[in-house]
């Protein structure tokens, strides 16, 4: 399990506005965010705008969803074939089951999805997941704005915020039958811009530090984990660190979680701003299309690569 001597930074986010702020609180948090994402590639966040009642409702809704029969889950056809139903039970994810929902911030999209899964409807699930995702998207945008300000890329803020759609992924990790600690989801980096994950009181996620130590990613069920993905790493020309992370399960209780992914929009080309390239920081990655990178990552060549991003578009 994770090291007990090193901890992921914890950052508290009070009620902040998305737009740029010159307040001392904003500046203080901005410095914490950029340092954490450069050194660890992530941090543990507390975020006042999501009440405990809504968090509990989301976890209950996820539990309800995973009780739905397998054939019904397959009714949903995501825009991206890698964003739908994913059942593990193999070497990479032996205890893992997940389901991605496109456009979860859209009320119409969530209602259509809910009606597809529950013929009689499930208003509580629809409202809680959509509200939760919408609030998490505010945190995502605050973090991304802070990163761009810290790097002197203010002129790209509107473009960068507008370049992303949101994918919600519902996740379940089964307890090991052996009674021992077991791998539930193997080590990997995320491929998107930024991931924000919330898990219930059963914690299991670990992040690898730059010196290759595994540390526990979450210390409280009241917090969220923010992680840099490959796309943000490439866009900033390596300024942000995309950490390897995994899930280890122990005990006899399943872990339920929800992740919000800010995903580059279809057709958007991830291209490093010229301000991020100089003699000390030569260009590391050629411009690339996110969807095509996902295709490569899921190919045999991508699975064989130790660093898929470099293999795909490294200079």
- 122 phi and psi, to 5 degrees? -155, 80
Indicate whether 308 belongs to any domain: no
Q: Mean pLDDT over residues 225-247, rounded? A: 97
* Number of domains comprising the chain: 1
Looking at residue 88, its pLDDT comes to 66
Indicate whether 225 belongs to any domain: yes
Q: Mean pLDDT over residues 213-239, rounded? A: 92
What does pTM read for this prediction?
A: 0.94
Indicate whether 281 belongs to any domain: no
- Asked if 268 and 163 touch (Cβ cutoff 8 Å), the reply is yes
- Average pLDDT for the chain: 91
DSSP codes of every residue in the chain: --BSS----EEEE-S--SS---SHHHHHHHHHHHHHHHHTSEEEEEETTS-HHHHHHHHHHHHHHHTS-HHHHTT---SSGGGSEEE--SSS-TTEEEEEEETTT-HHHHHHHHHHH-TT--HHHHHHHHHHHHHHHHHHHHHHHHHHHHTT-GGGHHHHHHTEEEEEEEEEEPPPSSSS-EEEEEEE---SSEEEEEE-S---EEEE-TTS-EEES-S-TT-EEEEE-HHHHHHTTTSS----EEEEE-SSS-EEEEEEEEEEPTT-EE---GGG-SSSS---B--EEHHHHHHHHTSHHHHH-SSHHHHHHB-
The CATH number linked to 200 is 2.60.120.330
Indicate whether 203 belongs to any domain: yes
Indicate whether 206 belongs to any domain: yes
Indicate whether 1 belongs to any domain: no
Q: What confidence tens digit (pLDDT) does each residue in 165-196 have?
A: 999 999 999 999 888 899 999 999 999 999 99
Looking at residue 107, its pLDDT comes to 85
Task: Judge whether residue 21 has pLDDT over 60.
Answer: no
Q: What confidence tens digit (pLDDT) does each residue in 130-151 have?
A: 999 999 999 999 999 999 999 9
Indicate whether 70 belongs to any domain: yes
Q: Which domain holds residue 70?
A: 10-276
Looking at residue 19, its pLDDT comes to 47
Q: What percent of the chain is modeled with pLDDT above 90?
A: 72
Indicate whether 77 belongs to any domain: yes
Looking at residue 89, its pLDDT comes to 56
């Amino acid at each position: 399990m994770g090291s007990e001597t090193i901890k992921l930074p914890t950052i508290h986010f009070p009620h902040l506005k998305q737009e740029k702020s010159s307040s001392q609180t904003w500046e203080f948090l901005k410095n914490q965010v950029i340092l954490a994402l450069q050194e660890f590639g992530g941090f543990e966040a507390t975020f006042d705008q999501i009440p405990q009642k809504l968090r509990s409702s989301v976890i209950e809704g996820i539990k309800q969803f995973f009780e739905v029969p397998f054939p019904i889950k397959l009714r949903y056809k995501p825009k991206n074939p890698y964003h739908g139903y994913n059942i593990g039970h193999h070497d990479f994810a032996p205890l893992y089951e997940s389901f991605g929902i496109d456009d979860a911030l859209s009320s119409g999209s969530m209602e259509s999805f809910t009606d597809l899964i529950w013929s009689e409807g499930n208003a509580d699930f629809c409202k809680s997941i959509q509200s939760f995702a919408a609030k998490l998207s505010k945190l995502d945008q605050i973090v991304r704005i802070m990163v761009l300000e810290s790097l002197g890329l203010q002129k790209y803020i509107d473009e960068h915020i507008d370049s992303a759609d949101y994918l919600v992924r519902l996740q379940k990790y089964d307890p090991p039958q052996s009674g021992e600690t077991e791998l539930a989801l193997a080590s990997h980096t995320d491929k998107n811009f930024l991931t924000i994950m919330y898990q219930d009181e059963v914690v299991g996620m670990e992040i690898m530090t730059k010196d290759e130590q595994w540390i526990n990613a979450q210390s409280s069920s009241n917090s969220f984990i923010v992680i840099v993905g490959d796309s943000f790493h490439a866009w900033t020309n390596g300024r942000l660190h995309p950490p390897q992370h995994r899930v280890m399960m122990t005990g006899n209780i399943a872990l339920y979680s929800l992740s919000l992914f800010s995903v580059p929009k279809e057709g958007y080309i991830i291209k490093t701003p010229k301000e991020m390239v100089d003699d000390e920081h030569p260009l590391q990655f050629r411009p690339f299309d996110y969807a095509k990178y996902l295709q490569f990552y899921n190919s045999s060549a991508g699975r064989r690569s130790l660093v898929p991003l470099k293999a795909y578009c490294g200079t």
